[in-house]
Amino acid sequence: MRIDLHLHTTYSDGSRSPADVLALAKAAGVSALAITDHDTVDGLPDALEAGAALGIEVIQGIEISSRYGDTELHILGYFVDRHDTELLHRLAQLRASRHRRNPRIIEKLNGLGLALTYEEVKALAGADSVGRPHIARVLMEKSYVTSAKEAFDRYLAQGAAAYVPRELPEPTEAIAWIRMAGGLPVLAHPSWVKANGAGLLKLCEILKAEGLAGLEVHYSTHKPQQTADYLSVAKRLDLLVTGGSDFHGLTKPDIEVGVGRGNLRVPEKLLEPLKKAAAVQ
Ligand code: AMP
Ligand code: ZN
Ligand code: FE
Ligand code: FE
């Protein structure tokens, strides 16, 4: 059996509902998974219900973007208490920062001659955690682009024509919020981090001192050498090893639940150490 500890649903910028994601996980032979929507825990009750019906263990997760210099670090949180009032308050603030940023992206797109409104984007999103992938999908529906990749490359990615930065917390803040809600903070997709080798090791060391518990060693786009390198960082710093697909549905069409691009396999045996660490913290 395999597990998948990084999945998005329609409660943030995924295109599949929690029930759909659970059904896809069942078909892929996934025994346990974590729903890790951006800045919201609202999808967790649906996921827990679907998981109970299908016999799949659902771990309550979150993904919080943070800024570290000129890089975004994404912090995953596992086993968070979804009722923790401080966490809920922080997440609401993060979603509010999205609603301040997104209209500015739309204005830039309008200025480039692309006709769309934030109302259309919010209607497509259907939930409160609205992000650039939703804007990408509206651009696709209006045939301004033919793929999400094109939408990001031409307009939405950092440095592209309609890019607007978002107010983001420090990694240490995201880590602290997750810890205070009883969760385990994990650095997501280390391949997105600009540092590697000694730089990544140093960064993980700093974050561990702030409360980081784990590293997402297994990830859909990691090459075997990267997986080996991240595993050695985790071992050296005594960080928990996690992994997941980062499934989003339509905006990452090459990535499937449980298997990523086909060769992802997150071993089930990683779960027990995570549970032990969550229980004692
Ligand atoms: P936001 O949260 O609004 O800043 O949007 C960032 C999200 O967009 C990331 O978490 C990814 O899910 C997604 N994303 C980033 N780059 C790309 C890309 N090139 N293609 C598709 N999705 C992307
Ligand atoms: Zn996303
Ligand atoms: Fe991420
Ligand atoms: Fe993600």
Half-sphere exposure of 105 (CA within 13 A, CB side): 30
Calculate the average pLDDT of the chain.
Answer: 97
CA dist 204 and 41 (Å) reads: 26
Residue nearest to atom 2 of ligand 1 (CA): 131
Model pLDDT for residues 48-68, shown as the tens digit of each residue: 999 999 999 999 999 999 999
The amino acid occupying position 195 is A
CA of 243 to the centre of ligand 2 (A): 16
pLDDT the model gives residue 196: 79
CA of 274 to the centre of ligand 1 (A): 27
Which CB contacts under 8 angstroms, 24+ apart, belong to 219-224?
A: 219/6, 219/189, 219/191, 219/243, 219/244, 219/245, 219/246, 219/260, 219/264, 220/245, 220/246, 220/255, 220/260, 220/261, 220/264, 221/189, 221/191, 221/260, 221/261, 222/191
The preferred substitution site among 124, 147, 152, 216 for testing ligand 1, maximizing ligand atoms within 8 Å of CB, is 152
The tokens describing 168, both together, are 């983001």
pLDDT above 90 (res 194): no
CA dist 59 and 44 (Å) reads: 9
Model pLDDT for residues 143-179, shown as the tens digit of each residue: 999 999 999 999 999 999 999 999 999 999 999 999 9
pLDDT band at 241 (very low <50, low <70, confident <90, very high): very high
CA of 180 to the centre of ligand 2 (A): 24
pLDDT the model gives residue 200: 96
What is the atom index within ligand 1 of the atom nearest the CA of 157?
16
CA of 92 to the centre of ligand 4 (A): 18
pLDDT band at 272 (very low <50, low <70, confident <90, very high): very high
Q: What is the average pLDDT across 221-226? A: 96
CA of 228 to the centre of ligand 4 (A): 21
3-state percent breakdown (helix, strand, coil) of the chain, nearest 5: 45, 20, 35
Bridge partner list, 66: 73
What is the atom index within ligand 1 of the atom nearest the CA of 38?
2
CB-defined site of ligand 1, < 6 Å: 13, 38, 65, 131-133, 148-149, 152, 157, 166, 248, 251-252
CA dist 257 and 246 (Å) reads: 8
Bridge partner list, 75: 64, 187
Q: What is the average pLDDT across 214-243? A: 97
Burial of 223 (0-12, 13-18, 19+ CB in 10 A): exposed
Burial of 197 (0-12, 13-18, 19+ CB in 10 A): exposed
Q: What is the average pLDDT across 254-273? A: 98
